[in-house]
Structure formats: C-alpha cells, structure tokens
C-alpha cells in the first residue's frame, strides 16, 4: 500500500482548516492521553504518528461536527475507505476532504 502523498497546501483555506484540526487533535490527545506538545502537520498520520485508536476517531468526528455541522461527514468519509487507507490516513488528507466538503456546501 502506498500512503497518500501529503500535498503542499496552496490556499489560505487549507491552512485555517489545518489550524482547526490541530486544535481538535491537541485537545483530544491532552484529554485522552495527557499528552502535550505533540507536533501536528499535513504529513502526520493518525495511526502511526499519533497512535490514535478507532474510538479516538469517533471523538474527532464529534469535534468536526461541532465545528462544521452537517457540511462535513467524517464517518462517511472513512466508511468509503479501505482499511489500509484508514491506517495510512494523514492530517493533510483530512484537511483536503474538509476543504472540499466546505466548498461543496458553499456552492450548493
């Protein structure tokens, strides 16, 4: 399996979504594992780098919903993926999905 290639962020939108996600993940890692100062970037993987368990991703889904409402559906995003893709999932790939979903919601 080839892990998804982290893309160079090109728009201000991507950076603001990355800032949102970094805030959510920092909060989750602190609340659940007592971790501070974890570095998070576009290339960070949920599984190998952050060692998140699948139940942590459920918590993240809740945080995403709090912030973006029905415009972003993290559960559907993951449900469409193969197991290996989920294991290789990067923060950058999620940023890209969130940005695309937000743009689609704006356009509709």
Binding site for another protein (CB under 8 A): 47-48, 51, 53-55, 57-59, 61-62, 70, 73, 75-76, 78-79, 83, 86-87
Decide whether 10 or 79 has the Cβ nearer to another protein: 79
Question: Least distance to another protein from the beta carbon of 52, Å?
Answer: 10
Residue closer to another protein (CB basis): 15 or 51: 51
Q: What is the smallest separation between the CB atom of 59 and another protein, expressed in angstroms? A: 6
- Tokens in use for 39? 């570095």
Q: What's the min distance (Å) between Cβ of 69 and another protein?
A: 12
Residue nearer to another protein on the CB measure, 2 or 8: 2
| Nearest distance, CB of residue 77 and another protein, angstroms | 9
Nearer to another protein, 10 or 107 (CB): 107
Dihedral angle computed from the Cα positions of residues 88, 85, 93 and 62, in that order, rounded to the nearest 10 degrees:
-100
CB 4 within 8 A of CB 90: yes
Per residue, what are the HEC states of 27-93?
A: HHHHHHHCCCCCCCCCCCECCCCCCCCHHHHHHHHHHHHHHHHHHCCHHHHHHCCCHHHHHCCEHHH
The candidate with the shortest Cα–Cα distance to 1, out of 89, 106, 93, is 89
């Amino acid at each position: 399996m080839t892990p998804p290639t982290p893309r160079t962020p090109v728009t201000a939108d991507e950076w603001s979504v990355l800032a949102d996600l970094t805030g959510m993940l920092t909060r989750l890692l602190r609340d659940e594992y007592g971790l501070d100062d974890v570095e998070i970037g576009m290339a960070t993987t949920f599984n190998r780098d952050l060692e998140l368990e699948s139940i942590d991703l459920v918590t993240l889904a809740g945080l995403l919903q709090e912030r973006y409402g029905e415009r972003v559906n993290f559960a559907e995003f993951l449900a469409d993926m193969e197991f290996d893709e989920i294991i290789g999932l990067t923060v950058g790939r999620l940023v890209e999905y969130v940005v695309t979903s937000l743009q689609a919601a704006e356009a509709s």
